[in-house]
Amino acid sequence: MKKIILFASLMLFGMLSAEAQYYRYGVKAGGGFSTAVGKDAPSDQINHLAGIHGAFVFSYEFASRLAVQPELHYSRKGFVYDAYTRNTAPETALTGDLRLDYVELPLMIKLQKAALFVEAGPYMSYLLNVGNEVNIVSTDPAIDPPAIFSRADFSRDDFNSFDVGYAVGGGLMLESGFFLNVRNTGSLRPFPKNDLTQRNLVWQLAIGYLIPARRPGNW
């Protein structure tokens, strides 16, 4: 019985190897919206920030219509403070854009049916840079517009260098290699080093191109 199961497994593996196992690689780029979520990211004080992203993509189809897809991904995340009063001095608030630039390594599992595909997987990322256009303003209702006290002193040292999370999405893949991709990514850990429980949440739309499928050894 064990020999029969082993033989059948080898036959199945051989069939999959013959019918699948294609390499593809290419690029993608696009835009999206990011924000912060968590108990210290109230929706009435945190707004979405528009950002850009791009990636080098490598796809390995190890079974028919099933592929593993690692990426080297640049992504701008962040959010907009809108009279944010958590963890600020009395009668002050934060307003303005906070931009977080990451290099990410998603590892996606992609299942395709005809031209449509779905994908999911984990990612890890490294914080490259922090862009800060945040002001400390007065919350005194008698002062309109609010008085600006100073620029908020944010730097890369205020944030965790590494992040991990999930990515899920889907899209449309044409036989020519062009594709359209919608993806949602979310952090599983807070990005500030202080006690705030803010996590990244991003929606992305991208267009890209993968070269036509090739079998191993035919590079």
pLDDT at 214: 57
* Cβ–Cβ under 8 Å, residues 188 and 166: yes
Does some domain include residue 11? no
* Cβ–Cβ under 8 Å, residues 208 and 57: yes
Q: Supply angle C-alpha 173, 176, 180, rounded to 5.
A: 30
Over residues 1-38, the pLDDT tens digits come to: 544 444 444 444 444 444 456 789 999 999 999 999 99
Does some domain include residue 124? yes
Does some domain include residue 219? no
Does some domain include residue 203? yes
Structural tokens at position 130: 């922090």
CB-hemisphere CA count at 13 Å for 33? 4
| pLDDT tens, the chain, 219 aa long | 544 444 444 444 444 444 456 789 999 999 999 999 999 999 899 999 999 999 999 999 888 789 999 999 999 999 999 989 888 888 899 999 999 999 999 999 999 999 999 999 999 999 999 998 999 998 888 777 778 888 888 889 999 999 999 999 999 999 899 999 999 999 999 999 988 899 999 999 999 999 976 554 444
Task: Kindly calculate the radius of gyration of the chain based on its CA atoms and give it in whole angstroms.
Answer: 22
Q: What is the CATH number of the domain that holds 40?
A: 2.40.160.20
Does some domain include residue 144? yes
Domain total of the chain: 1
Does some domain include residue 155? yes
The domain in which residue 198 lies consists of 21-210
Does some domain include residue 218? no
Q: What residues contact residue 52 under an 8 Å CB cut-off, 6+ apart? A: 29, 30, 31, 32, 76
Does some domain include residue 89? yes
